[in-house]
């Protein structure tokens, strides 16, 4: 880590930009999320949440290519959001996804899955998707 990076704590972080192609790919993948929602079974809802999280993560990987985890990327992405509420809700959605994946006893009712996916949808709108 260079002295300037250390002094300014990442303000020189390499950053990419989203292209129309990136956004089109995300839109196409989002259509599959919508299909999972339409099917409405608990297993479909879980897949929809995981796929929503992956779509956001893939966009963040384009924006912040030198990061290792989605958590790192989310921290750097704060300036991508016009409203803090949308950013905060994205964090909440990601935490729900992590709980769903890592906690064996975690149950995700359909109404909560729909709410979580709505948070991902709002974040995608911020990215122009």
Token pair for residue 61?
Answer: 């990987």
Q: What percent of the chain has pLDDT over 90?
A: 86
User: Are 15 and 63 spatial neighbours (Cβ–Cβ below 8 Å)?
Assistant: yes
Residues 63-76 pLDDT 10s: 999 999 999 999 99
Q: What percent of the chain has pLDDT over 70?
A: 89
Q: Which residues contact 53 (CB under 8 A, 6 or more apart)?
A: 70, 93, 94, 97, 120
Given this model, what pLDDT does residue 13 score? 52
Residue 127 pLDDT exceeds 60: yes
With cut-offs at 50, 70 and 90, classify the pLDDT of residue 11.
very low
Answering whether pTM is above 0.85, one says yes
Given this model, what pLDDT does residue 14 score? 64
Radius of gyration (Cα) for the chain, nearest Å?
A: 16
Length of the chain: 129
30-42 mean pLDDT: 95
CA atoms in the 13 A half-sphere facing the CB of 23? 11
């Amino acid at each position: 880590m260079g002295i300037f990076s250390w002094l300014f704590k990442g303000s020189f972080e390499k950053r990419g930009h989203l292209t129309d192609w990136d956004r089109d790919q995300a839109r196409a993948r989002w259509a599959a999320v919508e299909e999972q929602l339409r099917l409405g079974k608990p297993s479909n809802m879980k897949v929809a949440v995981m796929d929503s999280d992956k779509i956001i993560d893939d966009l963040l990987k384009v924006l912040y290519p030198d990061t290792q985890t989605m958590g790192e990327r989310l921290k750097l992405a704060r300036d991508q959001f016009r409203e803090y509420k949308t950013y905060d809700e994205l964090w909440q959605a990601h935490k729900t996804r992590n709980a769903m994946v890592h906690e064996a006893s975690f149950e995700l009712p359909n109404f909560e899955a729909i709410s979580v996916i709505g948070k991902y949808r709002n974040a995608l709108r911020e990215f122009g998707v």
